[in-house]
């Protein structure tokens, strides 16, 4: 008899977690509490409630929470203040949702007096690490049930067979009748893994993409968009002030229309293997470009370079699941301090898969046109000073050159 009486399951209502719900009931003979997060994935979440009810979950044990505003305000925006990119390309759309889900799982576990939490991450992936590091940081003694590390349903075809045997509906079957792509969506991105994407030689099907048109099919006319920043965060688009989640939703709409934000990536997972995935991050791609644009005129050179030095470390912490670790919090404190004067507006040009900054301005700008001009600067900058500056910086090179090395 299991000592687990009640478990909180991170439940999407999809194939994996629907199977897990039934498996937990059968294997642990325990009460299950389901938590479904509305992260802006663009799907109707009521079916998740109906599926949970079908398997005997008490109505009071079904949590469907709208966390869109918290997600963007407290997780996505802080990450974008750091200009975080994992391995130079990935905008961390899946990674950044996991600490919020872990936080909410623990809150519900405390509220319902549950003994354990459970998730649908596989034993091969990064998400198991992200969920569990977050959970242990917030509730050190929590018990975690990770079915993929316990059961023998180790392929999506086996999952589908189990689902059919237990009357679990499977949505979005592939056109040839096989398992669907493994997908994850939230307001920042949608990801695709599995099927023929597991062969790095195979090009992604055009029909796979959901949020973006192909750059070839995007409008022939460019679109210009003005973004207003306060302390490093976008607060208005084209003069209209919006909440954080509304900002990202609007940027997704604009970017998707112009074919912006597609990525086909082979990345290095934390558990050691290489993995191929495809991502759509239209709004995030625009946001990153615009944020670097406003920082270019408001950040001191050495502060900007320090941020760039720290960024890969910060990105790896997010990717590997250390959002709640003290080193990420310490880095965030430094990063947020640098954003005090990152205020102003940026105009971006969206055109056939590309986004470029075409103008920017700020009351806190460090750009001094009287010094930077190629015209007569009226003595604002003494060009003769550069000679001594160069000689001093060349001193070690000249000494080494005289020694022939």
* Residues 293, 198 share a domain: yes
Domain that residue 219 falls in: 190-361
The pLDDT, as a whole number, for residue 180 is: 60
Residue 53 labeled ligand binder: no
Q: Are residues 201 and 349 in the same domain?
A: yes
Mean pLDDT estimate for the chain = 94
- Per-residue pLDDT at 2: 74
Q: pLDDT tens digits for 9-18?
A: 999 988 889 9
- For residue 156, the model assigns a pLDDT of 73
pLDDT computed for residue 171 by the predictor: 62
Q: In this predicted model, what pLDDT tens digit does every residue of 346-367 receive, in sequence order?
A: 999 999 999 999 999 999 999 9
- For residue 29, tell me if it sits in a domain: yes
Number of domains in the chain: 3
Active site residue 98: yes
- Asked about 398 being catalytic, the answer comes back as no
B/e letters for 36-49, b = 16+ CB within 10 Å, e = fewer, are bbbbbbeeeeeebb
- Tell me, yes or no, whether 393 and 338 share the same domain: no
Distance CA 169, CA 14 (A): 9
The residue from 49, 68, 81, 98 that is catalytic is: 98
* Count of all residues that appear for the chain in the document: 405
Per residue in 177-191, pLDDT (tens digit) is 454 678 899 999 999
Residue 185 lies inside a defined structural domain of this protein: no
Is the confidence at residue 94, as pLDDT, over 80?
A: yes
pTM, two decimal places: 0.94
Instruction: Verify whether residue 182 is a known catalytic residue.
Output: yes
To the query of whether residue 127 is one of the catalytic residues in this protein, the response is: yes
Residues 6+ positions from 325 with CB-CB distance below 8 Å: 133, 137, 317
Q: What share of the chain is helix, strand, coil (3-state, %, to 5)?
A: 45, 20, 35
Percent of the chain scoring above 70 in pLDDT: 97
Give residue-wise pLDDT tens across range 285-339.
Answer: 999 999 999 999 999 999 999 999 999 999 999 999 999 999 999 999 999 999 9
Question: Does residue 377 lie within any of the structural domains?
Answer: yes
């Amino acid at each position: 008899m299991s000592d687990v009486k009640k478990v909180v399951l991170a439940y999407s209502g999809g194939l994996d977690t629907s199977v897990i719900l039934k498996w937990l009931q059968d294997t642990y003979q325990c009460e299950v509490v389901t938590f479904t997060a509305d992260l802006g994935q663009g799907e109707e979440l009521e079916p998740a409630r109906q599926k949970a009810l079908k398997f005997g979950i008490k109505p009071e044990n079904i949590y469907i929470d709208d966390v869109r505003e918290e997600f963007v305000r407290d997780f996505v925006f802080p990450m974008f203040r750091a200009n975080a990119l994992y391995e130079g390309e990935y905008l961390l759309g899946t990674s950044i949702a996991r600490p919020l889900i872990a936080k909410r799982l623990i809150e519900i576990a405390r509220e319902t007096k549950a003994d354990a939490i459970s998730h649908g991450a596989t034993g091969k992936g990064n998400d198991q690490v992200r969920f569990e590091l977050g959970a242990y940081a917030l509730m050190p003694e929590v018990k975690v049930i990770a079915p993929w590390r316990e059961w023998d349903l180790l392929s999506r075809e086996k999952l589908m067979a189990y689902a059919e045997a237990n009357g679990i509906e499977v949505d979005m079957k592939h056109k040839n009748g096989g398992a669907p792509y493994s997908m994850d969506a939230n307001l920042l991105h949608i990801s695709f893994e599995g099927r023929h994407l597991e062969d790095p030689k195979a090009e992604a099907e055009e029909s796979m993409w959901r949020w973006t048109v192909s750059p070839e099919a995007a409008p022939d006319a460019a679109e210009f968009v003005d973004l207003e920043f306060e302390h490093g965060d976008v607060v208005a688009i084209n003069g209209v002030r919006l909440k954080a989640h509304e900002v990202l939703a609007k940027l997704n709409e604009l970017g998707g229309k112009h074919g912006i934000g597609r990525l086909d990536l082979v990345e290095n997972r934390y558990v050691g293997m290489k993995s191929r995935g495809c991502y759509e991050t239209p709004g995030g791609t625009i946001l990153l470009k615009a944020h670097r644009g406003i920082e270019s005129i408001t950040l001191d050179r050495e502060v900007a370079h320090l941020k760039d030095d720290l960024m890969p470390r910060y990105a790896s912490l997010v990717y590997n699941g250390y959002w709640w670790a003290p080193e990420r919090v310490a880095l965030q404190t430094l990063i947020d301090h640098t954003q005090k004067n990152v205020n102003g507006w940026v105009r971006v040009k969206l055109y056939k898969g590309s986004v470029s900054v075409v103008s920017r301005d700020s009351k806190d700008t460090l750009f001094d046109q009287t010094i930077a001009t190629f015209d007569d600067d009226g003595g604002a900058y003494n060009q003769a000073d550069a000679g001594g500056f160069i000689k001093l910086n060349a001193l070690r090179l000249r000494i080494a050159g005289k020694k022939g090395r």
